[in-house]
């Protein structure tokens, strides 16, 4: 049986209502422009929702528009720029199915025909109103004999067409969904790419957030193999709103949760999730990974990735990304601030005055200039801190397990003990490697100068808290600043640490990287990496997977094959490809000792059975097709 696809024009094929755009043009120099445009939009919506008769809505708008024939040229130019994105990228469908596509609109042929002509829809398959012009070219009305100029005109139009086959109507408003109710359409698709109208959605057989989804449901030729709206993302722990916006703007479906989830909660939530975004609290364990059937990628919207079982991800073909640089400056600035606050006992003085006590004293209050700063861990944060601390006049010393080049005048120390012995302030910036558990304990503290200060902005488990508490109580250490704790709560609320109430101890709730700048930057960086992977297979900057930067896909289908790095897999993949006679236009491979990632670009025409055969290759972890 033939199928006919009946498209609405305004807000479906185009992002906008054409008469609203015409109003923008004709009222450009009118001082009451905003007022009139709002009135026109109000009338348009009343008509679309069926709250006033369509003829009434048309009459009222045309009067307010005050447009001329010459304005239509500008309108057409404008509308060409505002064709719906997913319509634009699926020209192939319109070209191959032209005979089955009709545009039925309560808009006007004068601007619809030139727009849809570019999509291979000829004028004879466009059903719409026509304007009436005065002798000097003013739009003064419309052809009232046209069925589309009256209420429920689309029903009459479809009846007159007498199409023999299944009729699918795609549109965004009342006049579209009513065709199904009237029995002249078999299916109604609510098109929500540009507007989401409650009533339209309620009356739909399917909701299609874009044309990709419509084409997917109908198994029609399309530009994207799998509609992005079907790819679900879950963002936890208050990830900056920019990330939500980036993903949704690209068409993905995104859910956000303001806190971290437990293992059980994660497993329940992840059943239909393709990408999860977390920060430092959420534990992505092996059990979570093994119970997340659709998971393709994990985004750590922070630096640390120890909360993620990277090996389990790798073994399941799940790619992990993080943001290694975005929040480093924020940590450094906090460290500098805390070092100064500690050495001046500012928090003690502040607490006293909050408690009603005036204690003006210089005792125990020192400048940082000329003092020795010991940086443990000379990585991205340690190095930046080194430069800033020197600018303040501090003598910088550092210790790192790796060979790290000294920046500025910093002095490299050969052992932790030597660094601890020389420093007035010791600041910890080691990575979240579990070997660093209790790295600074009673022994290390005893190696520090009497009256020194300790700052920990790295990970809570790096410092033995009972030992630190004891050293602060005994006066061995003059003060400490702690931002991270061995156990941190999943959400804001009650919290206890033994360090509570000790004088000259600055306690912050893991906010070293929590600045607007850092969070915004992370929300730009990580989604960029994730989308590059989901949309084109790139694994550049992945933390657990072979990194590969792929060339742009050119008129080809892309097979992404992740497999165990065991002998014979590549040979078997290429054997399958050869058996199916596929023409390879590009092939790229990257491996690490455990996994291989091979990307094969093939000509567009191929036997679909090859996909199952490639999935069956022994050692396959995951297989995706992109086009």
Ligand X SMILES: O=C(O)[C@H](O)COP(=O)(O)O
Interface residues with ligand NAD (CB under 6 A)? 303-304, 327-328, 331, 376-382, 399-402, 404, 429-433, 436, 439, 457-459, 483-484, 510, 512-513
Partner from ligand NAD, ligand X, none contacting 430, C-beta within 5 to 8 A by type = ligand NAD
Q: Which is nearer to ligand X, 288 or 413 (CB)?
A: 288
Task: Note whether 429 and 404 are within 8 A (CB).
Answer: no
Partner from ligand X, ligand NAD, none contacting 279, C-beta within 5 to 8 A by type = ligand X
Residues in the chain: 627
Q: Binder to ligand X among 26, 194, 210, 514 (CB under 6 A)? A: 514
What the block records as the tokens of 213 is 């989804």
How far, in Å, CA of 50 to CA of 129, rounded? 18
DSSP 481-497: EE---SS--SSSS----
Q: Contact region for ligand X (CB under 6 A) — 62-70, 300-308, 538-546, 603-611?
A: 300-308
- Min separation Cβ 445 and ligand X, Å: 23
How far, in Å, CA of 346 to CA of 358, rounded? 13
How far, in Å, CA of 443 to CA of 184, rounded? 84
Partner from ligand X, ligand NAD, none contacting 381, C-beta within 5 to 8 A by type = ligand NAD
How far, in Å, CA of 23 to CA of 612, rounded? 54
Q: Contact region for ligand X (CB under 6 A) — 9-17, 58-66, 219-227, 508-516?
A: 508-516
- Min separation Cβ 269 and ligand X, Å: 19
Q: Contact region for ligand X (CB under 6 A) — 17-25, 58-66, 506-514, 531-539?
A: 506-514
| 510 in contact with ligand X (CB under 6 A) | yes
| 513 in contact with ligand X (CB under 6 A) | yes
Q: Which is nearer to ligand X, 101 or 334 (CB)?
A: 334
Task: Note whether 139 and 111 are within 8 A (CB).
Answer: no
CA 35 from chain centre, in angstroms, equals: 36
Catalytic member of 151, 240, 459, 561: 459
Catalytic member of 329, 510, 563, 624: 510
Total of residues contacting ligand X (CB under 6 A): 9
SS3 557: strand
Q: Look-up: residue for tokens 């067409």? A: 161
Helix (H) or strand (E) holding 626: strand 620-626
Residues 6+ apart with CB under 8 A from 31: none
Q: Contact region for ligand X (CB under 6 A) — 25-33, 132-140, 298-306, 422-430?
A: 298-306
Catalytic member of 59, 78, 488, 613: 488
DSSP bridge partners of 276? 234, 298
Partner from ligand X, ligand NAD, none contacting 147, C-beta within 5 to 8 A by type = none
The DSSP call for residue 553 is: P
Active site annotation includes 459:
yes
| 302 in contact with ligand X (CB under 6 A) | yes
Partner from ligand NAD, ligand X, none contacting 376, C-beta within 5 to 8 A by type = ligand NAD
| 280 in contact with ligand X (CB under 6 A) | yes
DSSP bridge partners of 623? 561
How far, in Å, CA of 573 to CA of 98, rounded? 38
Task: Note whether 214 and 208 are within 8 A (CB).
Answer: yes
Q: Which residues bind ligand X (CB under 6 A)?
A: 279-280, 302-304, 327, 510, 513-514
Query: Which amino acids are annotated catalytic?
Result: 459, 488, 510
């Amino acid at each position: 049986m033939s199928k006919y696809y009946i498209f609405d024009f305004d807000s479906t094929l185009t992002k906008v209502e054409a008469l609203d755009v015409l109003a923008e043009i004709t009222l450009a120099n009118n001082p009451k422009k905003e007022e009139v445009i709002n009135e026109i939009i109000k009338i348009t919506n009343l008509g679309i929702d069926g709250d006033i008769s369509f003829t009434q809505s048309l009459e009222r708008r045309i009067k307010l528009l005050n447009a001329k024939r010459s304005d239509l040229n500008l309108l057409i130019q404008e509308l060409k720029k505002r064709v719906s994105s997913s319509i634009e990228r699926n020209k192939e469908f319109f070209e191959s199915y032209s005979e089955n596509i009709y545009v039925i609109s309560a808009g006007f042929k004068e601007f619809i025909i030139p727009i849809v002509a570019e999509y291979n829809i000829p004028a004879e398959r466009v059903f719409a109103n026509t304007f009436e012009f005065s002798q000097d070219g003013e739009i003064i009305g419309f052809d009232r004999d046209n069925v589309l100029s009256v209420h429920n005109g689309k029903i009459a139009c479809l009846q007159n067409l007498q199409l023999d086959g299944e009729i699918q109507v795609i549109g965004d408003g009342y006049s579209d969904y009513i065709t199904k109710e009237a029995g002249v359409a078999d299916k109604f698709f609510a098109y929500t790419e540009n507007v989401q109208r409650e009533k339209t959605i309620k009356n739909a057989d399917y909701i299609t957030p874009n044309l990709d989804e419509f084409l997917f449901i109908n198994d029609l030729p399309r530009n994207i193999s799998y509609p992005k709206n079907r790819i679900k993302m879950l963002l936890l722990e208050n990830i900056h709103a920019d990330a939500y916006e980036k993903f949704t703007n690209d068409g993905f479906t995104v859910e956000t949760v303001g806190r971290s989830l437990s293992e059980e909660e994660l497993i329940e939530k992840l059943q239909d999730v393709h990408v999860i975004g977390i920060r430092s609290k959420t534990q992505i364990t092996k059990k979570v990974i093994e119970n997340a059937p659709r998971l393709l990628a994990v985004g750590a919207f922070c630096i640390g990735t120890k909360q993620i079982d990277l090996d389990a991800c790798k073994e399941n073909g799940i790619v992990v990304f993080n943001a290694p640089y975005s929040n480093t400056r924020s940590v450094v600035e906090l460290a500098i601030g805390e070092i100064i606050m500690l050495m001046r006992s500012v928090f003690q003085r502040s607490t006293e005055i909050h408690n009603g006590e005036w204690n003006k004293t210089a005792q125990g209050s020192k400048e940082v200039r000329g003092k020795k700063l010991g940086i443990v861990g000379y990585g991205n944060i340690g190095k930046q801190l080194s430069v800033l601390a020197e600018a303040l006049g501090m003598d910088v010393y550092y210790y790192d397990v790796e060979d790290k080049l000294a920046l500025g005048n910093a002095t490299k120390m050969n052992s932790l003990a030597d660094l601890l012995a020389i420093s007035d302030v010791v600041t910890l910036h080691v990575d979240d490697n579990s070997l660093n558990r209790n790295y600074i304990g009673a022994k290390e503290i005893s190696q520090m100068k009497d009256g020194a200060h300790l700052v920990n902005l790295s990970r809570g488990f790096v410092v033995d808290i009972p030992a630190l508490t004891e050293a602060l109580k005994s006066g061995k250490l003059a003060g400490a600043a702690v931002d991270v704790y061995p156990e941190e709560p999943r959400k804001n609320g009650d919290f206890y640490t033994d360090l509570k109430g000790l004088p000259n101890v600055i306690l912050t709730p893991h906010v070293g990287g929590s600045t607007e700048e850092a969070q915004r930057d992370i929300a730009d960086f990580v989604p960029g990496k994730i989308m590059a992977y989901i949309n084109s297979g790139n694994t550049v900057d992945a933390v657990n997977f072979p990194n590969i930067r792929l060339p742009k896909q050119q008129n080809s289908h892309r097979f992404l094959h992740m497999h165990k790095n065991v002998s014979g897999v590549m040979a078997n993949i290429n054997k399958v490809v050869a058996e199916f006679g596929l023409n390879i236009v590009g092939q790229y491979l990257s491996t690490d000792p455990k996994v291989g990632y091979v990307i094969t670009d093939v000509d567009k025409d191929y036997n679909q059975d090859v996909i199952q055969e490639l999935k069956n290759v022994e050692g396959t972890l995951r297989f995706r097709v992109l086009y």
